[in-house]
Amino acid sequence: MKIEFKYAKKEDLPRIVSTYNSTIPSRLVTADLEPVSIESKQAWFDAHSENKRPLWVVECDGNYAGWMSFNSFYGRPAYDGTVEVSIYLEEDFRNKGLGKICLQKALDESPHYQIHSILGFIFGHNEPSLKLFYKFGFEKWAHFPGVANMDGILRDLIILGKKV
């Protein structure tokens, strides 16, 4: 399996949004309850840059497999060294070890972007993602009980963190 990470280009936004939208029905990985539009994600996309907050397209054996990004935490200068990592994979590439490769890439790349702390915002019922992050040495830094209303079910948000 040959994995490549390429900086996202504007023409990648439609498939990035499609991948994101494909996760919404599971109610496991995003607090969005309805599909989002390409237009609604444009400002988010534009906030990424190759030199500070990268957004990568992930390819597996030359095929688009998903995306990964570093997102600013809280938007104040003192927090510049802290990012939230997001990993979204196409359904055919989930549960095959690609998440591990992506998370390792995020950890490896952090020093190049002057990042000292990586956060994962994960729902408390998303056991596969929690397991993955714990396996990489992330620790629970925050627990927000019942803050997300997912179709009438209140879900916890767990923030996992790691110093790099």
Question: Which CATH superfamily groups domain 3-163?
Answer: Gcn5-related N-acetyltransferase (GNAT) (3.40.630.30)
Rounded Cα–Cα distance for residues 70 and 53 (Å): 5
**Considering the entire predicted model, what is its pTM?**
0.96
Torsion of the alpha carbons at 141, 23, 107 and 121, rounded to the nearest 10:
-10
- pLDDT by position in tens, the chain (length 164): 899 999 999 999 999 999 999 999 999 999 999 999 999 999 999 999 999 999 999 999 999 999 999 999 998 999 999 999 999 999 999 999 999 999 999 999 999 999 999 999 999 999 999 999 999 999 999 999 999 999 999 999 999 999 99
Instruction: Check residue 1 and give its pLDDT.
Output: 85
28 three-state secondary structure: coil
CA distances from 95 to 18, 113, 146, 152, 158 (A): 19, 28, 27, 28, 21
Q: What contacts 115, CB < 8 A, 6 or more positions away?
A: 70, 81, 82, 83, 164
Instruction: Check residue 88 and give its pLDDT.
Output: 98
The rounded percent of the chain whose pLDDT value lies above 70 is 100
Rounded Cα–Cα distance for residues 75 and 77 (Å): 7
48 three-state secondary structure: coil
| 66 DSSP β-pair partners | 58, 89
